[in-house]
Amino acid sequence: MHPDCEQVLFYEEEIRRRVRELGEQISLDFKGKKLVVIGILKGSLIFLADLIRFITLPVFIDFISVSSYGKSTRSSGTVRILKDLDLNIRGCHVLLVEDIVDTGLTLNYLKDYMERRRPASFKICALLDKPGRRKVNVAVDYYGFSIPDQFVVGYGLDYNEYYRNLSFLMVLRPEVYEGGR
């Protein structure tokens, strides 16, 4: 157990099982199609790396990075692209991979951004859903887990860039962020 852990939400094995299921489902749904998997940096990094190894189709990989405003100013819904796609996704079957859907503003913006590039199809896969925080409705095609409104880190998710490399998902002890590390 990590010293900053309030509660473990999902252990490594549970995550692996669920990610495997998602990968298998995606493999069925995209069978025979040219699939481009796009990760939103940085939180999706570990999820994406595991997910694509459970996808039994050829996949092309790309990443996009968006500006990270403070959560309060993020509520404007304005997202700025920091690193754009390298691939031309026109005519491709695109799967956008996200670690967590919180307010939904990031995905709402990126969905529109991607669709303007005219892919053949567009779907979203998110590991975690925090429905209690939603500000805009965004249709997510594949979800890993639904979680309560708690501060979750690990498996790619950070607090001030810490904890991304934990292999499990845990709720952070409030003392850590109240202390302002």
Tokens (6 digits) for 177: 């962020």
- Compute and round to an integer the Cα radius of gyration of the chain: 16
Tracing tokens 């979203």 back to the chain, one arrives at: 124
- Rule CB under 6 A: is residue 38 a binding residue for ligand PRP? no
Distance CA 178, CA 174 (A): 6
- Is 91 or 132 the residue whose CB approaches ligand PRP more closely? 132
Distance CA 139, CA 111 (A): 9
- Is 17 or 83 the residue whose CB approaches ligand PRP more closely? 83
Candidate segments 11-19, 26-34, 38-46, 116-124, binder of ligand PRP by CB under 6 A: 38-46
Strand partners, 95: 37, 123
Residue 149 falls in the annotated catalytic set? no
Residues 95-154 that bind ligand PRP (CB under 6 A): 98-106
- Is 5 or 127 the residue whose CB approaches ligand PRP more closely? 127
- Is 48 or 57 the residue whose CB approaches ligand PRP more closely? 48
Cis ω before 42 (30° cut-off from 0):
yes
Q: Which of 23, 39, 43, 144 binds ligand PRP (CB under 6 A)?
A: 43
Are the C-beta atoms of residues 85 and 38 closer than 8 Å to each other? Answer: yes
State the catalytic residue, choosing from 4, 50, 99, 102: 102
Dihedral (CA of 35, 59, 37, 154) sign: positive
Applying CB under 6 A, what is the total number of residues that bind ligand PRP? 16
Q: Which of 22, 26, 35, 40 binds ligand PRP (CB under 6 A)?
A: 40
Quick check: helix, strand or coil at residue 116? Answer: coil
The residues that touch ligand PRP, with contacts defined as CB under 6 A, are 40-43, 68, 74, 98-106, 158
Which residues are annotated as catalytic? 102
